[in-house]
Amino acid sequence: MPELHAQTNYLCFDKQNSLIDIHSNLRPCSTVFLLIVFLLQMPIGSIPAITGKLRKRLILDLTVALGGGTALGYGYWYGVHIPSVSRRDTFYAKLQSERTE
């Protein structure tokens, strides 16, 4: 049995790098250390590769951006720009007709 270090707050490992003792007075930073050690000891092939997520997300982002931009562009053009130009043209047409009279 490996020797336990009761004077410290560290984790003890045997020669096979297996966790053998965790002291009861773990601080939060020691808990984070335990999680990191556990994750580093996991075999690499145990987590399946995430494939195609970036491409699918990119296509979704581009579709939403182009669709939303087009919709907002049409909204601005027909809701703000065209009425503004129409009011301006009406004002100048009225001004021109008053000058000619």
Residue 13 has pLDDT above 60, yes or no: no
Percent of the chain with pLDDT over 90: 41
| Matching residue, tokens 């182009």 | 66
Q: Which amino acid type is present at position 46?
A: S
For the segment 41-58, the average pLDDT, to the nearest whole number, is 72
The reply to whether 67 falls in a domain is: yes
The reply to whether 7 falls in a domain is: no
Residues 35 and 59 in one domain: no
Phi, psi of 13 (to 5 degrees): -125, 150
- pLDDT for 8 equals 46
Residues 40 and 67 in one domain: no
The reply to whether 3 falls in a domain is: no
Domain of 21, in residue numbers = 12-46
Element (DSSP H or E) covering residue 74: helix 53-76
The reply to whether 57 falls in a domain is: yes
Residue 64 has pLDDT above 70, yes or no: yes
Beta bridge partners of 19: 13
Positive or negative: CA dihedral 73, 79, 81, 86: positive
- Answer for the pair 12, 20: CB distance below 8 angstroms, yes or no: yes
Enter the pTM of the model.
0.45
- pLDDT for 1 equals 47
Residues 65 and 31 in one domain: no
Would you call 81 helix, strand, or coil by DSSP?
helix
**Residue 65 banded pLDDT, cuts 50, 70, 90:** very high
The reply to whether 87 falls in a domain is: yes
The reply to whether 95 falls in a domain is: yes
Quote the number of domains for the chain.
Answer: 2
Residues 91 and 64 in one domain: yes
Q: Distance between CA 53 and CA 64 in Å, rounded?
A: 16
